[in-house]
Amino acid sequence: MKNHTDLSEIFKRLSIATVNPAWSTGKVSGMADGGIIESNSPVDGRRIASVGQTTPEAFDSVVDRAATAFSAWRDIPSPRRGEIVRQFGDELRKHKHDLGTLVSYEMGKSLQEGLGEVQEMIDICDFATGLSRQLYGVTMQSERPGHRMYEQWHPVGVVGIISAFNFPVAVWSWNAAIAWVCGNVCVWKPSEKTPVTAAVCQQLIGAVLARNGAPEGVSCLVQGDRTLGERLAGDRRIALVSATGSTRMGRSVAAAVASRLGKSILELGGNNAIIVTEHADLNIALPAAVFGAVGTAGQRCTTTRRLIIHEEVYDTFKTKLMRAYEQLRVGNPLDEKNHVGPLIDREAVANYEAALAACKDQGGHFIVAGGVLQGDGYESGCYVRPCIAEVSPDMAILQTETFAPILYMMKYTTIDEAIRIHNEVPQGLSSAIMTLDLREAERFLSVAGSDCGIANVNIGTSGAEIGGAFGGEKETGGGRESGSDAWRAYMRRQTSTINYSDALPLAQGIKFDL
């Protein structure tokens, strides 16, 4: 993507009629004119497109339309809903390169990661298609003769999805594909920092739904800032809110949804660590640590932020890390020779600089220096240097999540000490241990080990597969998305008892002489 013409060609292939003027929001998002959101690429600072914001009145109309659509969508057999989701997966396959390129350009992640994000969308569509025939309940034995008990699952209704900029399309699809096959309809509020990829996805799924005669409103998109997210969280018509973002945002959403006794799925901050033991294969630990720390420029919720390294291998691993970081190339993420792209915007750069200063003030020592990159190719002002700091485990900076490529490393002596250091942060998303020692691995996975929702052995903290439930504990929010039995969060459980006898036995032997 060297010039604006290339971007225009991508939009053309994606069947988007215009790039620069405000979008025809009636077709793409179902929005009235509430002003515009300008999307500017962190890659080169250029404007991608202008997207219409949703007014409060338009938001109400969208949710009403979704609620109406639910009454029809829920009656469509689940395998048929799964077939529609399968077709959406095929549409994504058709447009994978263009959509992945757009993800990379609007968000700033490498092209390989942008394409990988679209592949995650395809994978979850495949998973949801199979799931559509496996929404199982269970049969239970009744204590009363001539009775049968069983449980079944019904859709909850309108599902609100609030997604973050770092995975601008994949996390939406994790929620939406599962919610759709379960019989729900979705209202999506994407990050205002990545509105264009959201609008494109809405257009793609909208075309698939229309071809299949689905009711209008099964998939809805609203665009705006945090005030729109607050409106969504507080709306009683929305049965479930799935929110991905910062812990601060999650607290606000949780309080609003809980106040109306709604349901929520929260995927919030991560402060992930890898323990490297004296029994680790350092040739596996090294790429896991480097990719985990610098992938997506450190802007993943599963980014590796802390390395807890045994004192016997500390110096050796430190040398390997420094050599690896010397080879990192920072630049335009659409150039496959580069490893690290820009941060999302200059506000993120300011947060990065503040974290560097705080680390130094607290006694951290940078063995690979950080800083903001300037000059040719860095005109957007969003490119920073990945860095490594040696720290002590008690430093305050380690308690916070900085969405930037800053890696903190520290020593430990015993495995119990390493696990204690690992767990002494308020977040609990992803974790990993590098060891060839069975006892260490099992200790890490035991009830006394990692307190995170994801715990890996000899694999890094990032790169979760859609087949397993994704989510974390503590300030990460406790939610689960994607695979395993996470689908149950999008449904309501109903226990049913059928009496096929010619009598009505009452509980606890109570009798009425009637």
Give the mean model confidence (pLDDT) for residues 78-89: 98
So what's the pLDDT on residue 508? Answer: 74
pLDDT score, position 511: 78
301 is catalytic: yes
* Position 33 pLDDT exceeds 80: no
Catalytic residue among 301, 382, 387, 452: 301
Phi, psi of 78 (to 5 degrees): -55, -40
CA distance 255 to 2: 45
Q: What is the pLDDT of residues 178-233, one digit of tens each?
A: 999 999 999 999 999 999 999 999 999 999 999 999 999 999 999 999 999 999 99
Residue 86 has pLDDT above 50, yes or no: yes
Contact 168, 194 (CB under 8 A): yes
Torsions phi, psi of 63, nearest 5? -65, -40
Retrieve residue 287's tokens: 């790429």
* Contacts with 394 (C-beta within 8 Å, 6 or more apart), sequence order: none
Q: What mean pLDDT, rounded, does the chain reach?
A: 93
Please say if the pLDDT value at position 30 is more than 50: no
Average pLDDT over residues 160-171: 97
Contacts (Cβ under 8 Å, ≥6 apart) of 204: 14, 88, 91, 92, 95, 99
- Of 148 and 513, more confident: 148
* Angle made by CA atoms 456, 457, 462, in degrees to the nearest 5: 40
Q: At 166, is the pLDDT very low, low, confident or very high (cuts 50, 70, 90)?
A: very high
Based on the residue annotation, tell me whether 311 is a catalytic residue of this protein.
no
Question: How many of the other CB atoms lie within 10 Å of CB of 361?
Answer: 11
Exposed/middle/buried for residue 123 (C-beta within 10 Å: 0-12, 13-18, 19+): buried
The tens digit of pLDDT for each residue in 37-60 reads 999 999 999 999 889 999 999 999
What is the percentage of the chain residues whose pLDDT exceeds 70? Answer: 95
Q: In whole angstroms, what separates CA 410 from the centre of its chain?
A: 28
- Over residues 361-366, the mean pLDDT reads 98
Per residue in 417-435, pLDDT (tens digit) is 999 999 999 999 999 999 9
Which domains are present in the chain?
57-268+477-494 (3.40.605.10), 272-465 (3.40.309.10)
User: For residues 325 and 370, is the Cβ–Cβ distance under 8 A?
Assistant: no
Residue 513 has pLDDT above 80, yes or no: no
Residues 6+ apart with CB under 8 A from 478: 266, 453, 471, 472
Give pLDDT, residue 7: 75
Report the b/e string of 376-415 with b at 16+ CB within 10 A. Answer: eebebbbbbbbbbbbbebebebbebbbbbbbbbbbbbeeb
Tokens encoding 83: 């077939």
Q: 188: helix, coil or strand?
A: strand
**Extended strands (E) in 120-199:** 139-140, 147-155, 158-162, 185-189
Res. 26: pLDDT tops 50: no
**78-94 and 170-181 helices cross at what angle (nearest 10)?**
150
Q: Which residues contact 446 (CB under 8 A, 6 or more apart)?
A: none
| Catalytic choice (106, 267, 401, 440) | 267
Q: Using pLDDT thresholds of 50, 70 and 90, give the confidence band for residue 5.
A: very low
**Residue 1's pLDDT is what?**
38
The backbone torsions φ and ψ at residue 495, rounded to the nearest 5 degrees and listed phi first, read -95, 130
Tokens of 250: 């999650």
φ and ψ of 187, to 5 deg: -120, 115
Task: Look at residue 472 and tell me whether its pLDDT is greater than 90.
Answer: yes
Whether residue 151 contacts residue 232, with contact meaning beta carbons closer than 8 Å, is answered with no
Q: Of the ranges 92-101, 192-201, 406-415, 505-514, which one carries the lowest mean pLDDT score?
A: 505-514
